[in-house]
Structure 1
Amino acid sequence: MPSHLVNLNASPKAESSDVSSELPFTLQELKSAIPAECFQPSTWKSLSYFFLDVSVITVFYAIAHFLDSWWFWPVFWVIQGTMFWALFVVGHDCGHGSFSKHKWLNNAIGHLAHTPILVPFHGWRISHRTHHQNTGNIDTDESWYPVTESKYRQMDWSEKLIRFQVLLIAYPLYLFKRSPGKKGSHFLPSSPLFKPAEKWDVITSTVCLTLMVGLLSWLTYEYGWLFLLKYYFGPYVVFVIWLDLVTFLHHTEADIPWYRGKDWYFLKGALSTIDRDYGFINNIHHNIGTHVAHHLFLNIPHYHLKTATEALKPILGDYYRESRESIWKSFLRSYKTCHFVSDTGAVVYYRSKQEL
């Protein structure tokens, strides 16, 4: 067992259909172990996190404007970009319906949280739903799934550059082009991502985002490109890095199994993720690193995930994955070694390009 991971799946790392063919527990058994209140969102508590994030963002904008100093702008970008990421996580709860029991409120706050950071709420919500429904499935997962060896060999230099070299700034491109091997845009209702009934949801979010781009364009016209860089682009880049870093680390590790065909089913795939410790950032970004429980039960609000996780651990046993390693150390190792999986095999693991 690698020293940086604890409670890994006890099954051996072997590309075989024999790996964990059946789990020794059911989804219902896991749900029964979690206190019932963990599944109940508090509208006021959820709103308090939203308004807290917005308030912190507002305060730091005021501080940055008051100081207007180049010694402070880089510091501001890191802080504000991190708060943009926290705001995204609030919208993430809205997208899962775990923010409140009111759909209209989830949609309203979701747009208020995501539109200012250039995320099309409904377009993202629907593609993220696809990810959750297909986690760990090589053929149907939506984000951060491995490419096959043959696909890796066929990828041109630009695809490899985006997917494997500058992956921490890839998210905006994903919104327009999705991941390797998939087609469609998060902005167009005609995309294969969406059902016909979701047309107006997608259009609504695209219009909101277009208005935000219009506002940023007007501010740039009035105050110049330097204004855009200082007040928006700097924090936005940091936000994108956070988003790509955290989502990459949710599902990328050499010891995580990926499944094909009949060897995949929801519960098994949902366990192909890792809980990670981001230190003092945990509370700032609403414990999004507590990810195993979230994938099992996406309707648990973020402020109940830690309680739910503790309740699940005794049942999950060796099937619970947790990393106590430095986030950057984990990222660099996976960045260097997790490139593709074999073309065949019901259960496969990441391999390195050095093996070609």
Structure 2
Amino acid sequence: PRPQTSLPAFPETDPAMGAAARRAPEQEQSCKATEDFDAAKPPPFRIGDVRAAVPAHCWRKSPLRSLSYVARDVAVVAALAGAAWWLNSWAVWPLYWAAQGTMFWALFVLGHDCGHGSFSDSGTLNSVVGHLLHTFILVPYNGWRISHRTHHQNHGHIDKDESWHPITENLYKEMEPSTKKLRFSLPYPLLAFPVYLWYRSPGKNGSHFNPSSDLFSPKERLDVIVSTTCWFTMIALLIAMACVFGLVPVLKLYGVPYAVSDC
């Protein structure tokens, strides 16, 4: 008999080979779909479709559960501060700053949820808890809440986005070298968020502390005044603590973690 010159077919009983063969057309189709994808087109679904896909229990807000998260995080903040103060060692302070800076941001996230109304169904509870949490980390609650709403309404818009306002390539090229170095090198990133709160993003005017800023409508001015007053009250409290306990302890316990949380 003539010798067989063609390669034998893969046995159909080999599950690995069979699965690979079945996946090949799917992968090819997936690659083609990726190439044909146009990011500029509206998505093939609406926000209502996304909401409908979320299980019903995920929409139910539990104030007790939300407050338990606040109690937990506040307890961790207090425990970290107490432990660092008791140990008072330069081997411990850097660890404390990193951990406490992270916890300051955890408090910010809880206040963020209050601003979105996802903390509870009570506007009063959201406002009280949001003010307590954000004031502690020197964020004007209502001023930031309102501008953050604008951010979500214009997310990704190169001109109208609020907090994530991108710099165009032409604007970057026109910047002086000193401006680039200051903006994109340390220590500027440590100050970026406080500077944003006072002066907004580059190319935008206004302040989160000024009730007359174009960030806010006339009916929102009282809310901004309340938050700004809370912010200055916290500043006064920190100054009083520095007068009683000394500037260095306040910087160790609060100042450095605050800077870390702004990174």
Equivalent-residue separation in structure 2 for 1:11 and 1:184 (angstroms): 42
Task: Give the deviation of 1:168 after TM superposition.
Answer: 3.0
Map of 1:47 onto structure 2? 67
Residues 90 and 155 (structure 1), Cα distance of their counterparts in 2 relative to 1, 3 Å cut: same
Q: How does 1:4-19 map to 2 (within 5 A)?
A: 10=34, 19=39
Tell me: CA distance 1:176–1:188, structure 2 relative to 1, closer, same or farther (3 Å). same
1:64 CA displacement = 1.3
Matching residue's letter, 1:30: V
Give the distance between the partners of 1:11 and 1:202, measured in 2 at CA.
47
> Among 207, 221, 237, which residue is 1:199 paired with?
221
Contact residue 11 and residue 19 of structure 1 kept, 8 A = no
1:44/1:180 CA distance change after superposition, 3 Å? same
> Does residue 249 of structure 2 align to residue 227 of structure 1?
yes
Q: What TM-score, normalized to structure 2?
A: 0.82
State the shift of 1:162 in Å. Answer: 4.6
Tell me the residue number matched to 1:284: none
Q: Distance in 1 between matches of 2:131 and 2:94?
A: 28
Of 236, 255, 258, which aligns to 2:258? Answer: 236
1:146 aligned partner: 166
| SS of aligned partner of 1:52 | helix
2:105 counterpart residue number: 85
Q: Which amino acid aligns with 1:191?
A: S
Letter of the aligned partner of 1:96 in structure 2?
Answer: H
Q: Residues 161-206 of structure 1, C-alpha deviation per residue, up to 9 Å, x if partnerless?
A: 4542245311111111111111111100111111111101101010
| C-alpha displacement of 1:67 | 1.1
Q: Deviations over 1:296-352 (max 9, x none)?
A: xxxxxxxxxxxxxxxxxxxxxxxxxxxxxxxxxxxxxxxxxxxxxxxxxxxxxxxxx
Answer yes or no: is 1:72 the counterpart of 2:92. Answer: yes
Shift of 1:89: 0.4
Given the alignment, which residue of 201, 209, 212 partners 1:179?
Answer: 201
DSSP-derived class of the 2:57 partner: helix
Q: Whose relative contact order is higher, 1 or 2, with alpha carbons under 8 Å and at least 6 apart?
A: 1
Contact 1:123–1:202 (Cα < 8 Å) also in 2: yes
The alpha-carbon distance between structure 1 residues 156 and 54, as it changes in their structure 2 partners (threshold 3 A), is: same
- Name the residue aligned to 2:189: 168
Query: Which of 59, 66, 78 lines up with 1:58 in the alignment?
Result: 78
Partner in structure 2 of residue 116 of structure 1: 136
Give the CA deviation at 1:60.
1.2
Q: Which amino acid aligns with 2:75?
A: S
Structure 2: segments with no counterpart, 5+ residues: 1-30
Q: Are the aligned partners of 1:11 and 1:20 in contact in 2 as well (CA < 8 Å)? A: no
Q: Residue 209 of structure 2 contacts residue 225 of structure 2 at CA under 8 Å; is this kept in 1?
A: yes
- Structure with bigger gyration radius: 2
Could you tell me the TM-score, scaled by structure 1's length? 0.61
Could you say what secondary structure the match of 1:107 adopts?
Answer: helix
The residue type equivalent to 2:103 in the other structure is M
Structure 1 unaligned spans of 5+: 1-6, 242-356
User: Alignment partner of 2:262: what SS?
Assistant: helix
2:189 alignment partner AA: L
1:38 aligns with 2:58: yes
Contact 1:184–1:191 (CA<8 Å) still a contact in 2? Answer: yes
Q: Is 2:151–2:164's contact at 8 Å kept on the other side of the alignment?
A: no
For the 8 Å contact 2:104–2:258, the answer to whether it is kept is: yes
Counterparts of 2:35 and 2:115 in 1: how far apart (Å)? Answer: 34
| Alpha-carbon distance, 1:219 to partner | 1.2
1:106 Cα deviation from its structure 2 partner = 0.3
Deviation readout 1:116-172 (Å, 9 max, x if unpaired)? 110010011011111101001101001223212232233345543454224531111
Please give the alpha-carbon distance, in whole angstroms, between the structure 2 residues aligned to 1:47 and 1:235.
Answer: 23
Q: Distance in 2 between matches of 1:104 and 1:87?
A: 18
Give the whole-Å Cα distance in 2 for the aligned partners of 1:36 and 1:161. Answer: 49
Matches within 5 A, 1:272-351: none
Aligned in 2, Cα 1:205/1:162: closer, same or farther, shift over 3 Å? Answer: farther
Q: Aligned-residue CA RMSD in angstroms? A: 2.0
Which structure has the highest helix share of the two?
2
Closer, same or farther: CA 41–66 of 1 in aligned 2, 3 Å: same
Listed one character per residue, the Cα deviations across residues 49-83 of structure 1 (whole Å, up to 9, x for unaligned) are 01100011111111112111221111111111111
1: distance between equivalents of 2:189 and 2:237?
Answer: 26
